[in-house]
Structure 1
Amino acid sequence: MFENVKQTSLLLCFFAVALVYLAHIPRSTTVNLDFVPINHSRTDINRALEFCDALNAPLDTVKDFSDRKRSDRYEHGTNATLVRNAVIWTGRDNGTEILRGSILLDNGIVWRLGSAYEHLIRDDDDVTIIDANGGWVTPGLVDIHSHAGIMSSPFTSGTNNAASPNGPIVPWLRSVDGFDTHDESFRLAVAGGVTTIQVTPANNNAMGGEAFMAKLRSTLDKTPTSMLIEPPCALNGTKPCKDFRWRHLKLACGEDLGSHGHRMDMIWALRAALHKARQLKTAQDTFCSEVEEGVWGGENFPDDLQWQVLVDALRGGVKTTVHCHEVVDLDAIVRLSNEFGFPIHSFQGASEAYLIPSTLNNTWQSETVIVLSATRHRSKRETYRGSEYAPRILANSGIPVAFKSDHPYSNSRYLLQEAQMAHYYGLPGNLALLAVTSIPANAVGLTHRLGTLFEGADADVVLWDSHPLRLGATPLNVWIDGIAQFDEKVADAEPQGSDRGVRPEPPNWDKETREALRWDGLPPLFPSKISTKVSFGRVKEVWTRSRRGEIEVLFPPSYPVKERLANVVVESGKIKCIGTALACLGSREASADIDLHGGSISPSFMSYGSALGLEEIASEPSTGNGVLYDAFVHDIPTILGDAGGVVRAMDALVFSTRNALVAYRSGVTLATSSLRKNVFAGRTPVIAGVSASFRTGFPHAMEQGAIVQTATALHISVGRASLLSSTSSVAVSEQMAGIRRLLMGWEDEKTETGLWFKRASEASSSSPDKHNLRGANEDYN
């Protein structure tokens, strides 16, 4: 009996020592399974450790990546392609490296770069050889903010998957689950050199869900999954995974969330969601500590499928992007970032970011990229202070800048134009190209394969017909994963001309940049008044209107450059002299008022059909004329006494609006403005009233010459209503029947409808006022 007691005591001592030992095991993912408590199986503990190992997996997607000989996206049977005689902008060395030679694409990757490799190709090799003839080659463009595939083109009822109506916080949604592979916008984007997009949920939810990176080519599988780049292992289940891949989360704030509450509501919703995620993260960390210390009680791993992506964001494993515009929103997100300790990898929209660069640099442990539109501002109140000089200001502050399309709100095909316009307004050329290639690729964690050309990179390549920063530059061919997206028969480039292959030099905008900052984005825009006579020096070309209204060039391009630099004198809106300083200025040594440095003079531009002077902010009703009655949908109020409800734009015209003054600074001196309103989620009335023509730079309507025509044209809009429209739909055939009746003269000419439809049917050039376009002075740019 005592022997049994002694043995029992020894056993108890043994277990006591064992427990003490387990309690002091250091934090590690390795546990001696011989000391696991007897009530847990080896399988259970292994399973628990798998979860904990996955939590602590290093954030490394590029391990051994550079050694690959074939892309994971390679499709069997793809020909190798050699593009020779090219000027190759690689995107390396901060966008300054330019190579001249060849680029060889094979196995879905860039195989060789820079030198000629014709001697490596045998006659029996299946290689497509393309002569670039001195043309420019760049990496494929990366569009970091697009809704292509989830807001499809053409737009139909079943393809609006961008925004959720189920509350402001829905981080568990995934854009890939609504991704339409038949979207025609993919081909449009590729036609503009875009090879990769980030498919983001819309801006209508504070946490809209996961975004995904996708290549814009049709795959053999023809599925959304096959278009994704490095999808996270969480995509196909909740099993623990050490093979780290970045996840991408979309947040938003500001005006677009108005249906869920105001700003304070949305920031609280974000804070509450982050707090819940932090609690879950703490529970997971506690679980792993207990497992590793040998005191695990057998509980399940504290997982929550709805919130795990947000937990991963707090752990730093998610590339988080936030769509915000104003300082108040940007500052609030930076505070949240520091409060909960998670990085923000890009601010998108960010119209006022250039006003607070120091604040953005204080985002939690991250280099934040600002994703902008170069010039598209003022469509909403929160974008009203956006500036075309913002990219340059941010770059000068050391903050990386990228550009976006926000497709379908702006066509992704024209993404490169954002870089071109930003370069024109002062962003250095190397940074302008980086802004649509390597900078967005870095923001999403994919620089090891996208955005830069190097041996081993994905074979996403664009061959351009001119320097990519020249307005109008067009891809001759695009390769995605080494697969040509255009007909190979048109791939060979024509020899590059002297101008087409040269990067354009932007004007000096130092003064305007300083003014933008001084006035918080709203500098005075009123034109400065000068005498009726002004002279221009070093003019390269003069374009003018002939008596027949045709445009003629007075300095033919065939003249040598030095000989066609001349002086030009304009007086009272008309050209008085073109020639030498002696002939035009009275002295060989005389200086002109304005030095054009080889620039050109042309007739000014005219805007037709826009809302200049009628609407300042498209989405802000208080700054516009209001919504017109549609006679095809509503009964026109009796007080108008007019069946068609025809109204005149002249009655709502406002001078000195910011949009009109910006247009004037850009060379648009004359505007014919219409009450027809372009709406994304609706349809303008069929009868859109009578337009008016005015001078954009004039301060008020009472100034002589400000009004050119009080009534210019009758505007009619025929089409189908948007599926998002809240108004009743009118059949196209009914619209045409109504217009036919009015043109046949069934309305009394004493009414506005009868009067203007009679004039339209007669194609009358007469006008009820004395203002007309004839005899107006020439305006010059």
Structure 2
Amino acid sequence: MIKFHAKTRLTLAALISAAFLSACEQPQKEESKKEEPNTAFESTYQAHSYHPVLIQNATILTAAGDRIDQGSILFKDGKIVAIGQSVEAPADKNLEVIDAEGKWVTPGLIDVHSHLGVYPAPGVDSSADGNEMTAPVTAEVWAEHSVWPHDPQFELALAGGVTSMQILPGSANLIGGRTVTLKNVPARSVMEMKFPDAPHGLKMACGENPKRVYGNKGRSPMTRMANIAGFREAWIKAADYKKQWEDYENGEGNGKAPKRDLQLETLAGVLDGEILIHNHCYRADEMALMMEIAEEFDFQISTFHHAVESYKIADKLAENNVCSALWSDWWGFKQEAFDMVPENVALVEKAGACAIVHSDSPTGIQHLNKDAAKSMASGNAMGMNITPEKAIEWITINPAKSMGIAEQTGSLEAGKMADIVLWDGNPFSVYSKAEKVFIDGALMYDRHDEKYQPVSDFQLGQYDLEVDAQEEGAL
């Protein structure tokens, strides 16, 4: 499990033991297990309890189009209650009032493309679990089955203001497997981190990666035309599988249920609109081809990731309602990533398409606000006049839309989850830091209070050694 501080281990252990004993005392349901729905791998996330909080006198970027100067936001029981120029403090003795004069408030940051947990730190082969490089199509695998919740990188992302993230498999395969959306909270299992009711995504990759990985093995695909053929073959099989199940459920055919196939089950979920496509794709021409495949098989692409050439087809992306997850200035590390412009994010925004700044990096996820600032500056250098209230959408509500969770989080609006960051200054300044981070209204990180600076079990032994050395004057 993960604790907030090494010194609290005995207290937390006692609390956890009590929780387990309490669970054991609950009466068992009389219904047989067969009659209950299958709840395997469902989210067991529980929001932490916390007292009501009123933040006053802050500059608030709502990510809902508004900037509120000298604004206030009230949240309790995990939800945003009120936000505006003036919010009346409720008569509640437990209310905490924070004077945020000179500080800024934003929604919790959301990274649509992360590999934390599946490529944890330390980066060693024994825990590198993000790429199932055994076949071009591995839709049967789920990233969440590789997530290590003790990855110390989760806490570093939290300190950067990241409250939710999507964890994806790697990009070696044409179809790499399911993604999972997580709340960035300490947990003992991935199910305790899973964002409630968030849809799965499906990671796909076009271009260089699949043809290089399998071409080097002397296998197909080794060309881009084989990439496209591989996609189409997979979707043909999925469409047939989907029809078999529909026929069975409608009482047609031989009356025998089709044999369950994990790979085709995931692909059929896309065709049913239940699983969202997240497509690693750099070049504009290949993005256009992928949208043709989506039209052929009647599914929607949610987002192109690493899409360094989105600016070339931004109008088509807007027309097809496809988001672009982009870097501010990371490019040129391979041929298909060469034709980048630093105004990419801003040009996608200008075309009316959904622009997102993402990380794909355990370091970059700690600085999403700075990458958004760089993209804003690049756009403004072209005369686009992008404001902070627009740029904040690239790292909050737009990724939430891409991941299918925008109804719950991503903007500061009454009724939404109280995923909130209090910054000590303008979040688009290189000098500003996240001061407090709230997830579902509970304080999960405080830069000035060690009690709210999570430390994972994996780090505790190292942490204790360091503390002992400091007390002995060795450090």
- The one-letter code sitting in structure 1 at the alignment partner of 2:213 is S
Q: Name the structure, 1 or 2, with higher relative contact order (CA <8 Å, separation 6+).
A: 2
Contact residue 280 and residue 303 of structure 1 kept, 8 A: no
Match of 1:397 among 339, 351, 359: 351
Residue 419 of structure 2 corresponds to: 460
- Give the deviation of 1:142 after TM superposition: 0.5
- Give the deviation of 1:304 after TM superposition: 2.5
Q: Would the alpha carbon gap of residues 484 and 288 (structure 1) be closer, same or farther in structure 2, given more than 3 Å must change?
A: same
- Give the deviation of 1:333 after TM superposition: 0.9
Contact residue 284 and residue 302 of structure 1 kept, 8 A: no
Match of 2:269 among 291, 295, 312: 312
Residue 147 of structure 1 corresponds to: 115
Residue 143 of structure 2 corresponds to: 175
Residue 329 of structure 1 corresponds to: 286
Q: Counterparts in 2 of 1:763-778, with a 5 A limit?
A: none
Query: Is 1:83 paired with 2:58?
Result: no
Q: Distance in 1 between matches of 2:71 and 2:370?
A: 26
Contact residue 73 and residue 481 of structure 1 kept, 8 A: no
- Give the deviation of 1:490 after TM superposition: 5.6
Match of 2:338 among 384, 387, 411: 384
Query: Is 1:111 paired with 2:81?
Result: yes
- Give the deviation of 1:112 after TM superposition: 2.7
Q: Distance in 2 between matches of 1:225 and 1:301?
A: 29
Residue 327 of structure 2 corresponds to: 373
Match of 1:339 among 279, 283, 296: 296
3-state SS of paired residue (1:377): coil
Residue 25 of structure 2 corresponds to: none
TM-score for both structures, normalised by structure 2: 0.78
Q: Distance in 2 between matches of 1:441 and 1:350?
A: 18
Q: Would the alpha carbon gap of residues 402 and 114 (structure 1) be closer, same or farther in structure 2, given more than 3 Å must change?
A: same
Query: Is 1:225 paired with 2:164?
Result: no
Identity of matched residues, %: 28
- The one-letter code sitting in structure 2 at the alignment partner of 1:463 is L
3-state SS of paired residue (2:262): coil
Contact residue 102 and residue 424 of structure 2 kept, 8 A: no
Q: Distance in 1 between matches of 2:379 and 2:171?
A: 29
Q: Distance in 2 between matches of 1:342 and 1:472?
A: 43
- Give the deviation of 1:477 after TM superposition: 1.0
The structure with the largest helix share of the pair is 2
Q: Distance in 1 between matches of 2:446 and 2:409?
A: 24
Residue ranges of structure 2 left out of the alignment (5+ in a row) = 1-34, 39-43, 215-221, 381-385, 451-475
Q: Distance in 1 between matches of 2:334 and 2:160?
A: 27
Q: Distance in 2 between matches of 1:385 and 1:121?
A: 58
Q: Distance in 2 between matches of 1:74 and 1:395?
A: 34
Contact residue 450 and residue 458 of structure 1 kept, 8 A: yes
- Give the deviation of 1:104 after TM superposition: 2.2
- Give the deviation of 1:91 after TM superposition: 1.2
- The one-letter code sitting in structure 2 at the alignment partner of 1:318 is I
Q: Distance in 1 between matches of 2:175 and 2:255?
A: 34
Contact residue 283 and residue 302 of structure 1 kept, 8 A: no
Aligned residues: 396
Q: Distance in 2 between matches of 1:485 and 1:74?
A: 11
- Give the deviation of 1:122 after TM superposition: 3.4
- The one-letter code sitting in structure 2 at the alignment partner of 1:74 is A
Q: Would the alpha carbon gap of residues 216 and 369 (structure 1) be closer, same or farther in structure 2, given more than 3 Å must change?
A: same
Q: Would the alpha carbon gap of residues 115 and 164 (structure 1) be closer, same or farther in structure 2, given more than 3 Å must change?
A: same
- Give the deviation of 1:119 after TM superposition: 4.2
Residue 439 of structure 1 corresponds to: 398
Q: Distance in 1 between matches of 2:92 and 2:50?
A: 17
Q: Would the alpha carbon gap of residues 96 and 262 (structure 1) be closer, same or farther in structure 2, given more than 3 Å must change?
A: same
3-state SS of paired residue (1:399): coil
Q: Distance in 1 between matches of 2:447 and 2:324?
A: 37
Contact residue 115 and residue 169 of structure 2 kept, 8 A: yes
Query: Is 1:263 paired with 2:220?
Result: no
- RMSD of aligned residue pairs (Cα, Å): 2.4
- Give the deviation of 1:362 after TM superposition: 5.6
Residue 55 of structure 1 corresponds to: none
Q: Distance in 2 between matches of 1:122 and 1:284?
A: 55
- The one-letter code sitting in structure 2 at the alignment partner of 1:121 is A
Residue 273 of structure 1 corresponds to: 234
- Give the deviation of 1:302 after TM superposition: 5.8
Residue 486 of structure 1 corresponds to: 445
TM-score for both structures, normalised by structure 1: 0.48
Query: Is 1:425 paired with 2:393?
Result: no
Q: Counterparts in 2 of 1:597-636, with a 5 A limit?
A: none
- The one-letter code sitting in structure 1 at the alignment partner of 2:333 is S
Residue ranges of structure 1 left out of the alignment (5+ in a row) = 1-46, 52-70, 232-244, 492-781
- Give the deviation of 1:459 after TM superposition: 1.3
Q: Would the alpha carbon gap of residues 167 and 83 (structure 1) be closer, same or farther in structure 2, given more than 3 Å must change?
A: same
- The one-letter code sitting in structure 2 at the alignment partner of 1:485 is M
Q: Distance in 1 between matches of 2:96 and 2:306?
A: 41
3-state SS of paired residue (1:306): helix
- The one-letter code sitting in structure 2 at the alignment partner of 1:120 is P
Q: Would the alpha carbon gap of residues 402 and 119 (structure 1) be closer, same or farther in structure 2, given more than 3 Å must change?
A: closer
Match of 1:158 among 91, 112, 126: 126
Q: Distance in 1 between matches of 2:119 and 2:253?
A: 48
3-state SS of paired residue (2:341): coil
